[in-house]
A and B are shown apart, each in its own frame.
Chain A
Amino acid sequence: MIDKSLITGSTTTLILKLLEEQDMYGYQMIETLAKKSDDTFHLKAGTLYPILHNLEKEGMVEAYEEKAEGAKIRKYYHLTSKGRKLLKGKQQEWMEYTAAVNKVLNGGVSVALI
């Protein structure tokens, strides 16, 4: 189990990253995130929606309703170009941060991340 505070800081980035690939509705995002992270990230829905709604307010994502394959009407979220820029920045920030943490953990030796 990973410390929660580690996840909280990067939730927004993870949500944006999910939407970069395709438009999704809330439930789908949580499922996909769990699947993609080999069940490491079990994002609580109660955390997800306030973040999503705030991203929508800031114009990073757009919401629209659509009846997809099932009978239910879902509220889908779509990443805007503004949101893409934010994701890029956040990814960069994350890379720099993890590189620095790794460097310290490795006793001052910089290692390749990937």
Chain B
Amino acid sequence: MLPSSDEITRYSTTVCEQVRWKKAHPGIAKEIEDHLCDQRDYYLSEGEEEETATEKAILQMGDPVSVGLELDKTYKPKPQWILILLTVTLMLVGTGARYFIDSSEASLRNFSIVPHIIAIAIFFAAYFLDFTTLAKYPKAGYSLILLLSMVGLALGPEVNGRAWFAFAGFAVSLSYLALIFPLTYSLLIYSMRNKGTKGLLLCVIGYVPYGIILLLVPSITGFVFYTFSAFILLFVTVRRGWFGGSKKTGLLMVLIPAALGAISMISIFLLQPYRLQRLTILLDPSSDPRGYQTTVIRDLISGAVFIGKGTIPQQYESTVLLMPGIDTDQILTLLIHNYGWIVFIGITLLFIVFSILGFKYVSKQRSVLGFLVSLSILLIFVMQTVSYIAGNLGYGLLTQLSLPLVSYGRSALLLNAGLIGIMLSVFRTGDVVQDGGQPYVKDGSFISYENGKLIINLKG
């Protein structure tokens, strides 16, 4: 390193000191130092002494304080007021809904505000968290979650045919792993920058273990959500040229997880034909005794009014509302029945606005890291919402996981609160995030001429 580098570092430090947003510092410092070095090298090539060359380069750049102050105007985190407001509103709707369920006469539970307060705390903690920490150990993050889910699967009890994980009085369904997998999978993709076909192949292979875990839980919904997210995430990264190499081969390889997912689903339906009946039940619920719940949902909804309490169809007694699970899994159905369609429209609108704004901000992400992290979270958010709403209207093809922030269930509430917090943290600070890893190397010529220097590229 040339001794003049100290002068240059001192200059860039002074510039950065004027920029209040610390996260922007590394990017600014690097660009300014690079520039000064280029300028100094130019003066050196003109025959100047090193000290003079550095001085002249710094002089050419201008006063560091005023440069820093100018940059400070550009670098400001973007507080996500609208999305925060929407998140908090959805959480309040969830709290209200839970209060409504827990305080009903038939309920054996006691309403507690504590989980909701914890959820909001987790949300804000994640919002202010530096999400780039996630990218520091992407492969370790991917493996840790895989290991934890394997342990959970091996040791956890089975409840209603599904694996759960119980720890210190807190139990969580392993189906919810589907909410986390896309995020950690996106980090694996992120770590493969410019690793070419090999990197992409590792991502394709990396898709498999999480998929198997979800099939073992078993959570078909989780598997479908995860497979779909993995496919989309891989597709968009290949299109962005993240892996380097041929995009065409890349796009063909992306089809592998999609094909594997489809093959798994077909095998499951062949091995467990009763799962296919879900489709026939949807088409004609009365044809099968297992379609009873679907029939009830549709009948309750057909008796609903726009504003106010709907009527319970004659064939049912009023105890139909006490059907097991209806108060926890069909919260929208119950709200439609009790308060009218207007409540449903209101809640759905909140979700629609949230999702549209989400996609808008995801598409604006400059860094691949910010883009992948926020997209993986948003996809899971939207898929949970759509499948839950479809199920609550009596048209759910997949078993619903949860209605983010609103539906009953502490684990889902806390997980979604954390994930949404991370996504909003990306929207807030994503502008200054710089992707790590080796940038793409253009096929440069063997000999090139730059800034008065003849460069012979021996590496090819």
Interface residues of A (CB under 8 A from B): 25-27, 44-47, 49-50, 53-54, 56-57, 59, 62-75
Within B401-460, the residues touching A (CB, 8 Å) are: 431, 434-435, 438-442, 444-445, 448, 450-451, 453, 455, 457
B237-280 interface mask toward A, CB cutoff 8 Å, 1 = contact, 0 = none? 00000000000000000000000000000000000000000000
Asked if B66 is an interface residue, CB under 8 A from chain A, the answer is yes
Query: Known: A45-B39, A46-B61, A46-B62. Is A75-B31 also a contact (CB below 8 A)?
Result: yes
Asked if B63 is an interface residue, CB under 8 A from chain A, the answer is yes
Query: Known: A26-B31, A49-B67, A53-B74. Is A68-B60 also a contact (CB below 8 A)?
Result: no
Asked if B34 is an interface residue, CB under 8 A from chain A, the answer is yes
Asked if B75 is an interface residue, CB under 8 A from chain A, the answer is yes
Asked if B32 is an interface residue, CB under 8 A from chain A, the answer is yes
Nearest-CB distance from B68 to chain A (Å)? 9
Distance, CA A65 to CA B67, complexed state (A):
22
In the complex, are the beta carbons of B31 and A69 less than 8 A apart? Answer: no
Distance, CA A63 to CA B30, complexed state (A):
14
Residues of A within 8 A of B366 (CB): 56, 62-63
In the complex, are the beta carbons of B448 and A70 less than 8 A apart? Answer: yes
Nearest-CB distance from A26 to chain B (Å)? 5
Nearest-CB distance from B425 to chain A (Å)? 18
Nearest-CB distance from B25 to chain A (Å)? 13
Residues of B within 8 A of A70 (CB): 448, 450-451, 453, 455
Query: Known: A54-B74, A62-B366. Is A69-B457 also a contact (CB below 8 A)?
Result: yes
Distance, CA A25 to CA B28, complexed state (A):
13
Contact of B74 among A26, A50, A68 (CB under 8 A): A50
Residues of A within 8 A of B438 (CB): 67
Distance, CA A75 to CA B435, complexed state (A):
12
Of all chain B residues, the one with the shortest Cβ separation from A63 is B366
Nearest-CB distance from B261 to chain A (Å)? 32
In the complex, are the beta carbons of B442 and A67 less than 8 A apart? Answer: yes
13 contacts between A and B (CB under 8 A): A45-B36, A46-B66, A49-B28, A49-B67, A50-B71, A53-B75, A66-B442, A67-B438, A69-B444, A70-B448, A70-B455, A75-B30, A75-B31
In the complex, are the beta carbons of A53 and B71 less than 8 A apart? Answer: yes
Nearest-CB distance from A45 to chain B (Å)? 4
Nearest-CB distance from A36 to chain B (Å)? 17
In the complex, are the beta carbons of A46 and B67 less than 8 A apart? Answer: yes
In the complex, are the beta carbons of A49 and B71 less than 8 A apart? Answer: yes
CB-CB nearest 4 A-B residue pairs: A46-B62, A50-B70, A69-B448, A46-B67
Distance, CA A71 to CA B64, complexed state (A):
27
Distance, CA A56 to CA B74, complexed state (A):
9
Query: Known: A44-B60, A49-B71. Is A67-B439 also a contact (CB below 8 A)?
Result: yes
Nearest-CB distance from B361 to chain A (Å)? 13
In the complex, are the beta carbons of A66 and B31 less than 8 A apart? Answer: no
Of all chain A residues, the one with the shortest Cβ separation from B435 is A65
Residues of A within 8 A of B60 (CB): 44-45
